[in-house]
Amino acid sequence: MSAVKTFEEVRANILSCHKSSTSKEKVSFYNSFAENYNMDVAILDYRAPRLAADAISSHFNGDRAAAVVLDVACGTGLVAEQLKTRGFRHFLGIDGSERMLELAREGGLYQELKQCLLGEDPLLAQCGFFDVVVIVGALSVGQVPVHVVRELCKAAKAGGYICMTTRGNHDNAEYKVDLENELKQMEEEKLWTCVEVIVEKDWERAVSEHEHGYISGSVYIYKKL
């Protein structure tokens, strides 16, 4: 059992990931991070999985036990855990890290897990199939490129929901603008419609050198047309 880390130790580890420039370096970071991931994000008071699950739950009116959820950048399965407590049962998980996927498999929530490097590999998911598509924590600067949201939309069935999150901190400001412009552009193209945007000021504890306390974050819920 690993010793409980201090916030400063977790912060230093997260900042080391931000220095990774290539996809290979980032995957290597997450492979090594996987073992302590759940404990470390708990120390950061990372609320995004719960907030996203709450948002999906508040809008989804179908049969949750029968619904199929595509959990993109699933990590160890924190989002699936939250959705299971809200009645969802069928999950396909996709992530770039082999070790994260191994831990997700051990959790037993997913019917299927696939390795895929978002933005470089095609999204390994059937088009027009999923009742819910969710991506939590990966749409941010240095992680997944904005254009991936189009693949998320393609994976959802007509009338299905797409739930996305991003951080509202200073370092992610430019990415957030680009993301919201793409979401709006896709709405103008009549690919989906915006159902709700939730802004949460206490998203997680700040880790960058020039931010303190908590940073904000946003949950976006769209419905495919």
Summarize pLDDT for 50-74 with one digit per residue, the tens. Answer: 999 999 999 999 999 999 999 999 9
pLDDT digits (tens, 9 = 90+) for 159-179: 999 999 999 999 999 999 999
- The structural domain count of the chain equals 1
> Do the beta carbons of residue 185 and residue 157 sit within 8 Å?
no
Residues β-bridged to residue 72: 94, 135
Structure tokens at 163: 């739930």
Residue 207: give its domain's CATH number: 3.40.50.150
Structure tokens at 144: 């997944």
Residue 82 within any structural domain of the chain: yes
Residue 216 within any structural domain of the chain: yes
Residue 202 is which amino acid?
A: D
Mean pLDDT, the chain, rounded, equals 94
The full length of the chain comes to 225
Q: Is residue 24 scored above 50 in pLDDT?
A: yes
**Dihedrals φ, ψ of 26, to 5°?**
-65, -40
Helix segments in 19-172, DSSP class H: 23-33, 37-43, 48-59, 78-84, 98-107, 148-155
Residues β-bridged to residue 54: none
Range picked from 30-34, 72-76, 120-124 for highest mean pLDDT: 72-76
pLDDT attached to residue 1: 46
Residue 2 within any structural domain of the chain: no
Sign of CA dihedral 85, 125, 29, 220: negative
Residue 154 within any structural domain of the chain: yes
Residue 6 within any structural domain of the chain: no
Percentage of the chain surpassing pLDDT 90?
A: 87
Residue 16 within any structural domain of the chain: no
Residue 13 within any structural domain of the chain: no
Q: Which domain holds residue 131?
A: 45-224
pLDDT attached to residue 2: 53
